[in-house]
Amino acid sequence: MFDFSSLPSASSASALLQQIPESSMVPQSQPSVSLNVIPDEDPQRAVETADEPEDDYSGLMEDGLGAEDGDGDDFIDGERDDAGVTGANIQDRFALPHWLSVAFKARLEEANNRGGDGLPKLYSVQKTFWFPQQSTYFLLRKHSVTSQDLYNPRFFLWDPECLVVGGIGCPKCGVKLNRHGHASRPRRFVGLNETFWIIGYRYRCKECVNTSGKKTVTFRSWDAKIIEKLPVDLALEFPAQLSHRSGITLSAFHFMRSCFQNGMGAKQFSDSLRVQHLRRHDERHLQYLHAIQARQGISNWKDQTYAVFLPFEDHSPLGLHGFVPSSQWLRDIYDDFIEKHEMDFNQHTAMLSGEICALDHSHKVNLASCLTILQFLIVFCFVLKDHSRNHESSW
Ligand SMILES: [Zn+2]
């Protein structure tokens, strides 16, 4: 064992230093040794180039997770033939997992329980479009818990027809639409860290004729053409930007717009969404494990076992079927939004004042005092001349 008491104290060490003769403290001359720290340049070595696209900042990064949702009502809007069986194969292919199907049917039954005013209790009594949702903590206090209980899907009920006085006109002919049953499956849309589901309805036009010559044209309540027909204050309650089969919450979509405007790419945003969704899933997993551990004693006594908490993207009947959109999906829905608003952007640009007419920051022109076209042209030519002179010097 090392004896620390044999070490000199700070004061005794300085005393020892004072006893050393000065001659021994003079540095002795050492033979010079040359060390090559930086190797010579090898002209044949591979050179890193900056040709990789900026978006491709990580080759290890995944891009999205899971598969897009199927749509049992996957018909061209307004051309559904109720007598047809077009959607049968699609429904089989994209069957809802059992835990989601049970939750969907329960909410649907609740939504169809309406008062004399035709409104679901959710609208008339609770005054909300969102079904209330239990928190995970209280779900874990149940007598027996399964991991599927914690998936806990949150539903949004969208039946605007009963809220619009006078009903909704057909997008094609303007005739009042009638409710024609509910959409056969909920519509999934993703948020910043969890997934939501829309329960929708079909609205039928009794005048329009579909391609097979029958008067069976219907529109889904989340159809963009239906939402355009609604009063603005009601339309703004719709919480999602939908693609053909999926969707994203408006809060996540507008956050994505801000990210794009501030230099974040679609791939980076998709990766961030994936991380947030996986983190939320892992939190539920952790809560599940702690709850099981807390009831370990009584579980042993009852010889009770618990199922494994399945991964986020598990597509087995008991799995979560998690989905996070890919970067291409995000690009497409962003481009679609921009293209739809192209006229608005052009109109806004045309209405800007002349102060924004400057060619760069150092040549702003106040056109407020320009009263004639001639004066405007003179000032504009001056700006062009000054601008080109400035850039010639920098080129
Ligand atoms: Zn019609």
In a domain, 103, yes or no: yes
Q: Which two tokens stand for residue 177?
A: 């639409």
Q: Which two tokens stand for residue 27?
A: 């540095």
In a domain, 128, yes or no: yes
Domain of residue 260: give its range: 88-296+306-340
Nearest in space to 161 (alpha carbons), one of 202, 127, 196: 202
Between the CA of 302 and the centroid of ligand 1 the distance, in Å, is: 62
Q: Where are the alpha helices (DSSP H) in 57-182?
A: 88-93, 98-112, 121-124, 136-139
Same domain, 380 and 277: no
Same domain, 380 and 330: no
Between the CA of 167 and the centroid of ligand 1 the distance, in Å, is: 13
Please count the structural domains in the chain.
Answer: 2
Same domain, 181 and 246: yes
Between the CA of 175 and the centroid of ligand 1 the distance, in Å, is: 6
Between the CA of 209 and the centroid of ligand 1 the distance, in Å, is: 8
Nearest in space to 153 (alpha carbons), one of 218, 103, 221, 90: 103
Between the CA of 205 and the centroid of ligand 1 the distance, in Å, is: 5
Between the CA of 176 and the centroid of ligand 1 the distance, in Å, is: 8
Burial of 277 (0-12, 13-18, 19+ CB in 10 A): buried
Between the CA of 218 and the centroid of ligand 1 the distance, in Å, is: 9
Between the CA of 169 and the centroid of ligand 1 the distance, in Å, is: 8
* pLDDT for the residue 170: 94
Between the CA of 207 and the centroid of ligand 1 the distance, in Å, is: 5
- Paired with 130 in beta bridges are 156
* pLDDT for the residue 213: 82
Three-state DSSP at 311 gives coil
Between the CA of 223 and the centroid of ligand 1 the distance, in Å, is: 14
Between the CA of 120 and the centroid of ligand 1 the distance, in Å, is: 26
Same domain, 175 and 311: yes
In a domain, 21, yes or no: no
* pLDDT for the residue 265: 94
Same domain, 230 and 291: yes
Between the CA of 226 and the centroid of ligand 1 the distance, in Å, is: 12
Same domain, 321 and 180: yes
Between the CA of 95 and the centroid of ligand 1 the distance, in Å, is: 31
In a domain, 61, yes or no: no
Q: Which two tokens stand for residue 90?
A: 């699609």
Give rounded-to-5 percent helix, strand, coil for the chain. Answer: 40, 10, 50
Measure the CA–CA gap between 198 and 189, rounded to whole angstroms: 8
Same domain, 279 and 162: yes
Between the CA of 168 and the centroid of ligand 1 the distance, in Å, is: 11
In a domain, 23, yes or no: no
Measure the CA–CA gap between 55 and 159, rounded to whole angstroms: 41
Give the pLDDT of the chain (395 residues) as one tens digit per residue.
444 444 444 444 444 444 444 444 444 455 555 555 566 666 666 655 444 443 333 333 457 776 666 554 443 344 343 333 344 455 555 688 999 999 999 999 999 989 889 999 999 999 999 999 999 999 998 888 888 999 999 999 999 999 999 999 999 999 999 999 999 999 999 999 999 999 999 999 999 998 888 888 999 999 999 999 999 999 999 999 998 888 999 999 999 999 999 999 999 999 999 999 999 999 999 999 999 888 887 777 777 888 899 999 898 889 999 999 999 999 999 999 999 999 999 999 888 876 655 555 554 555 555 456 666 666 666 555 555 554 444 33
Measure the CA–CA gap between 379 and 164, rounded to whole angstroms: 54
- Residue 383 backbone class (left: φ over 0; alpha: ψ -120 to 50; beta: rest): alpha
Measure the CA–CA gap between 178 and 192, rounded to whole angstroms: 35
Between the CA of 230 and the centroid of ligand 1 the distance, in Å, is: 16
Between the CA of 221 and the centroid of ligand 1 the distance, in Å, is: 15
Between the CA of 101 and the centroid of ligand 1 the distance, in Å, is: 32
Between the CA of 76 and the centroid of ligand 1 the distance, in Å, is: 15
Backbone angles phi, psi at 318, to 5 degrees: -95, 0
Between the CA of 220 and the centroid of ligand 1 the distance, in Å, is: 13
- Paired with 203 in beta bridges are 179, 219
Between the CA of 204 and the centroid of ligand 1 the distance, in Å, is: 8
Alpha carbon of residue 229 to chain centroid? 26
Same domain, 123 and 264: yes
Measure the CA–CA gap between 24 and 69, rounded to whole angstroms: 83
In a domain, 31, yes or no: no
Between the CA of 174 and the centroid of ligand 1 the distance, in Å, is: 6
Same domain, 253 and 335: yes
Between the CA of 163 and the centroid of ligand 1 the distance, in Å, is: 20
**Interior CA angle at 176 toward 171 and 179, to 5°?**
95
In a domain, 185, yes or no: yes
Same domain, 179 and 227: yes
Between the CA of 171 and the centroid of ligand 1 the distance, in Å, is: 7
Whether 248 and 189 have beta carbons less than 8 Å apart is answered as yes
Q: Which helix (H) or strand (E) holds 347?
A: helix 342-350
In a domain, 112, yes or no: yes
Between the CA of 172 and the centroid of ligand 1 the distance, in Å, is: 5
Same domain, 283 and 382: no
Same domain, 176 and 275: yes
